[in-house]
Amino acid sequence: MGKKLAMVTASGAVIFVLIGLLLGLGEVVIRSVHLIRDGIPFFESNAGGRIGPITLDQDLGWKATEHYQEALVERTKNGTLYPVRRSQTQYGFRSFGDVNSRRLKMLVMGDSFTHATAVSDDRTYHALLSKLLDVEVFAYGAGGYGTLQEFLVLDRYLDIIRPDIILWQYCVNDFINNDNELERLSRINNNGWVRPYWRNGKVQLLSPKESSLQVRDWINRHSRFLYFVVTRLDRLRAANTRDTVEVDIEAEGMRHAGFARAVAVTDELMGRVRARVGTRPIMAFDCTEAEPYSQAFRDISAHHAITYWDDVPQSVQAADARGEDVYCADGSHWSERGHELAAQALAKHIRAEFPLPPRR
């Protein structure tokens, strides 16, 4: 009996050592790739929360990394390769203009479509708007953001920038990311990161995963290899798009109790945006035309005197139907051509509805 117990103990120790070696090797490989490809120092700890263009944040959940630069090659949906030089400037803004400029100042808020990591600095829709309208642009976005995170960023920097007008980029995932229960049921709009949610009039930091908040947070901060593994597993689960709450929402619309709850929360948050910016004009658009989300955005915008344009994604989707290469490799985010079409549609509306005054 003693011999068998010793053998089992020895086998367990061997397995434990092998697992440790595998994890160590994986960590070395991932860190080497980051060093060669991204210029991230091999021994740089994730304890500060930096994960490439994203940095973990105790209030926002995560934020765009400040003073981040990268040159890489991206691929369009149709397979065309193109070079990208992207950077994030002061406070992590993708575009941070001159706060003392005499030009009209426009603050752009959004998520991954505004973060636009697959598009060069001068090809984003907000960079193109700066040229088309001759305005000073300040643009902030971060992948996976919900409305509360966008509001918190606006609240941090509004008094520094003192913008004249606000351009707000909605996305269908806002409703999912604004409700912890819905996000837990989503396979396609759940990145596993702890984020703030607006619940009962208060901000609460919660995990959108069933796994322990502490385990996910430790992985995010300390192991690049385990972070790589768990995020790839999340993507594999997301491939099963039939087993996700969005299917039920699109079938039931406002009859879906969770969606109705998320719409109410989103409406309340946009009310806080309106209260924070005061009488400044707020313009908004959605990155994708899809129901019941688009109608909810129309209603929320009308409720808070926000000018809403629903034809921006339509112009991109129409170009895709004509065979134009308007999407990135993931098939959802805009390529450089998609950003160009969105900028043209937005510039046309802004010129028509908000005649820009001469330089101050």
Task: Count the Cβ atoms, other than its own, within 10 Å of residue 157.
Answer: 19
Give the pLDDT confidence score for residue 215 in this predicted structure. 63
pLDDT tens for residues 40-93? 666 655 545 667 899 999 999 999 999 999 999 999 999 999 999 999 999 999
Give the pLDDT confidence score for residue 201 in this predicted structure. 93
Question: What's this model's pTM, rounded to 2 decimal places?
Answer: 0.83
Whether 236 shows a pLDDT value over 50: the answer reads yes
Whether 299 shows a pLDDT value over 80: the answer reads yes
Give the pLDDT confidence score for residue 209 in this predicted structure. 82
Give the pLDDT confidence score for residue 47 in this predicted structure. 43
Quickly state the pLDDT bin for 32 (edges 50, 70, 90): confident
**What residues contact 290, with CB distance under 8 A and at least 6 apart?**
172, 250
> Quick one: tokens of 222?
């300390």
Give the pLDDT confidence score for residue 23 in this predicted structure. 64
Whether 6 shows a pLDDT value over 70: the answer reads no
Give the pLDDT confidence score for residue 354 in this predicted structure. 76
Whether 4 shows a pLDDT value over 70: the answer reads no
Vertex 160 angle, CA 157 and 163, to 5° = 85
| Contact (Cβ atoms closer than 8 angstroms) between residue 318 and residue 327 | no
Helix (H, G, I), strand (E, B) or coil at 337: helix
Whether 139 shows a pLDDT value over 70: the answer reads yes
- Determine the average pLDDT of the residues in 170-188: 96
Quickly state the pLDDT bin for 184 (edges 50, 70, 90): very high
pLDDT tens for residues 43-57? 655 545 667 899 999
Q: Which domains does the chain have, with CATH numbers?
A: 1-44 (no CATH), 47-353 (3.40.50.1110)
Give the pLDDT confidence score for residue 353 in this predicted structure. 84
pLDDT higher for 299 or 243?
299
> Quick one: tokens of 175?
């409703």
pLDDT higher for 196 or 242?
196
Whether 223 shows a pLDDT value over 80: the answer reads no
How far apart CA 106 and CA 93 sit, in angstroms, is 13
73-81, Cβ contacts within 8 angstroms, sequence gap of 24 or more: 74/118, 74/119, 74/328, 74/329, 75/328, 75/329, 76/325, 76/327, 76/328, 76/329, 76/335, 77/325, 77/326, 77/327, 77/328, 77/329, 77/330, 77/331, 77/335, 78/325, 80/325
Amino acid at 280: R
Pick from 192, 358, 163: nearest CA to 278: 163
The average confidence (pLDDT) of the chain is 87
Give the pLDDT confidence score for residue 216 in this predicted structure. 59
- Determine the average pLDDT of the residues in 142-149: 97
**What residues contact 210, with CB distance under 8 A and at least 6 apart?**
184
Whether 206 shows a pLDDT value over 80: the answer reads yes
Residues in the chain, overall count: 360
Whether 153 shows a pLDDT value over 90: the answer reads yes
pLDDT tens for residues 100-126? 999 999 999 999 999 999 999 999 999
Give the pLDDT confidence score for residue 211 in this predicted structure. 58
Give the pLDDT confidence score for residue 12 in this predicted structure. 64
- Hey, which bits of 111-152 come out as E strands? 136-141
pLDDT tens for residues 246-295? 999 999 999 999 999 999 999 999 999 999 999 999 999 999 999 999 99
pLDDT higher for 352 or 219?
352
- By DSSP bridging, strand 54-57 and strand 61-64 are antiparallel
- By DSSP bridging, strand 282-286 and strand 307-309 are parallel
> Quick one: tokens of 192?
């596993």
